[in-house]
Structures are given as C-alpha cells and as structure tokens.
Structure 1
Amino acid sequence: MSYSVGQVAGFAGVTVRTLHHYDDIGLLAPSGRSRAGHRRYSDADLDRLQQILFYRELGFPLDEVAVLLDDLATGRGDPRAHLRRQHELLTARIERLQKMAAAVEHAMEARTMGIHLTPEERFEVFGDKDPEQYAEEAEARWGGTAQYAESQRRAARYTKQDWKRLQAEVDDWSERYTALMASGEPATGEAAMDLAEEHRRHISRWFYECPYDMHRCLGDMYVADERFKAFYDAMRPGLAEHLREAITANADRGAR
C-alpha cells in the first residue's frame, strides 16, 4: 500500500505543507513517487511520521528528531532502549501535565465566586466568616441560571477594596436592621420596607439584577433554609422572619 500526501496529512492531522517541509529537510522522504512524480508514502513512512510527531509533541527540535530516528533506522540505536526512552519521556510528560492540571484546578477553586484573595486579605475583609462556605452548593443549585453567571462575572472583577466596600455595606445594613427591630418597628412599616429595598438594591448592585419577585423568593429561602435563617438570626433572634415580612411588604409596595 502507498498513500498520497493528502491522505497522509489526513491520517496524521498535519498539513500537506508540513509533509513537504519534512521531505525538503530530509526528515521524512516518501518511499516512492507516482508516474506523475507525486509523493507516495508507505506504511514504514507512516511509522516514521508517527515517531516524528511523538517527539515533536514532546518539544524536540526537528534536527534532534532526525538524529534519534536515523540512529534507530541505521541500527546504531537499540529498539528496546528507544522504546524505554519513549516510555520515560511520556511518563515525565504525564507527570508535568498532571501537575499543571492540579495547578489549574487549584486556581479554579481559588476563583470560586471570584474571591481570589490571599488568606490575610480574606481575614481582613470577612473576619472569621468564610465567603465560600456554600459556594459548591450554590453552584449546584443555581449554576445554570443567568443570575449565577452574572454574579460570577461581576465578582471575578472585584478587588480587595471592592470586597471591603461590599462588606462594609453589609455590616452597616445589619446594624441598622438590628436597631430597627430593637426599637419595635413592625416588618410592614416604612422603615423596615426601606431597609428591605436597600437589601434588594445591594444584591442588584453587587451580584445580579434582583427584581421584586426574585427578592420574595430569597426572603422565603432565608426562613426555610436553616443555614440562612441561622445567619440572619445570629444578628438578632427572629430577624430572618422579620426580614422576610419586610421583603414581602416592600415587593407589594413596589408592585403598586
């Protein structure tokens, strides 16, 4: 069997120009020619091309590839030693790729929710709270939504100073909502609804557009999900329920 240059290019996933170049430099000269003078490659030529591409994939320059293969072809190289060398090179390459994959995976984890801060910066911004505590669950629950994607895009751009401003807003709002509850303000009062509206706008400003209907759903989740309820009730007992009522009242006001 013999093959045209186009066929070989298709088999190997290289260009015809590459095969012409290999021929010109003597790295892979086709074993035959057609009557019209076109290159024809044999099975042995394909074996040599496979070896060439193997070493090229490992980063060997073409002149070194030529020496390696010519030594093997002329009997100066031990075929078994050649295979062992290939195995060693492949093993080393695999180890490098595994390390690279691990580094990329680590970087992906570090960028979850876009919070790529050093441990010192995280503590400076968030204190002892872990901003990524529920990141995996959030991705599992909402990863396919436009809101989650928008949140990821925005957060990926935030600097340490951005996160500090965001957290300062949260702290300020929490203090004022706690004080509002302590003063006995009802959840359906104007003051509580105004703070609920601040809460909605904070989400829209920093993470994703949060219309009133979505804000209602969040309010329900703050009560139904024990972890969210614990988060808000830690500010003041009953705050999660109070906030949900305020969010509902504010959404009703916004719909008028």
Structure 2
Amino acid sequence: MSFTVSQLAKLAGISPRTLRYYDQIGLLAPQHTTAAGYRLYGAEQADTLWQILFYRELGLQLGEIRALLRDPSYDRRQALTDHRRRLLQKREKLERLLGAVDRVLAADDTQEVFLLEERFDCFKEQLVAENERRYGKEVRARYGDAAADSANAAMLCMSRADYDRFTALEKEILRQLDALFAAGTPTDAPAARELAEKHRQWLTASWGHYDPAAHAALAAGYVVDDRFRDYYDRGTAGRAVYLRDVIAHYTQSL
C-alpha cells in the first residue's frame, strides 16, 4: 500500500506541509519519488511517522527524534515500553492532581486542615514535574531511570514536616557554605566535613538512598553546569568549586 503526501497527512492528522518538512530535514523520507516528483510513502514510513508524532507528544524536539531513530542501538519495542511506563506515571500523577482539585472544589470550611495537605501534595507534584522538565533528561542519562524515579518517589512521599526539614537543611547548607568560604576554611577541616555531612543528609532525603561516588559526581557537576554554579556561587565566584572540593574530600574519606 502506498500513500501520497495528502493521503498520509490526512491519515495522521497533520498538514502536507509538515510531512514535506520532515523530508527536508531528513526525519522522514518517502519510500520513493515518482518521475513526476510526487512523494509516495509505504507502511514502514507510516509507522515511522506514528513514532515521530508519538515522541512529539512526549515533548521531544525534532532533532532529538531524528537522532533517536537513527541510533543503531535503537530498539523500537524497548523504547515504546519505556515511554509507556512514563506515560502511566504521568497519568497517575494527573489523576491524583485531578482528585485533589475536585476535593478542593467540593470542600467546606471544616475541611481546611485536610485541604492544606491536599494542596501541598499538588505542590509536590508540580515541583517534581518541573524538576523533570529542567533536569530529567540529564539525570536519567547520567544515573539511569531507576535512580531518577526513586528520587521522584522520595519527594512525593515527603510529608509537610519532612519537606519543611528538607528546605531548612538546604538553607543551612547555603548559610554554612557562605561562612566557611568567606573564612577560607580548609576543605578537610572538621567544619567543612560537617557541611559535607549536611549535604549528604539533604541528598539522601531527595534521592531516597546514598552513594558516595554519585555524591562526588553530583558536586562536580555543580561546577560545570551554569545553572548549579550560579545557584551556589550567588554572585561570588568560587563557592561552587569550594563545595565540590569539600564533598570530594568527604566522600574519599568514607
């Protein structure tokens, strides 16, 4: 079976112009082109188009999809299985959010305390989703899906009290980092080790487990990634490097 540009575009619910563009950028070439210049697509191209549109729905850019489909190690079934698992997780999160919103809308004043917890759950869902959007791809590439999913689960399982302690610890880490860096404290000093230990506690709370090598690798990433370096430097260059060295010394001593 063969499809013209118009036929396949109509079948997929996209414009013929989009299909031609996919050909131009090397994302989806036709099965062959007639002597008159008409593009014709077969069943294999139709299946590839379905995959492209599927990955677009997941938020991948066209360049990322092209690289994925061209990768010699690409396993269509495994990739779809992995994405199905992530879609199920997203559906579960959306269902929890919808349930919370419905309860807020249906609630009366006597349920105010309960609603605060429900709203906090919504906040955690949004926080995890935002972290996944900003850092998920890098985290999953470096540490794997299991580690990323475990970290997300640890955050979602936090109670309000746990989360308050978590954020308070983060603020204390920044405060102590500022003080030690300003004082020129050696990275192997007892106070520096205390800072690394607090960072370990904070990391364990967010990851759900602890791995010294991963801790050191994460701290090294603070220096090379502009987002993290700016967060820890906060206008004073060198703080992120100092924290990296403190954590490196700490993890080597474990």
- TM-score of the two chains, using structure 2 as the length reference: 0.47
Point out the structure with the larger helix share: 2
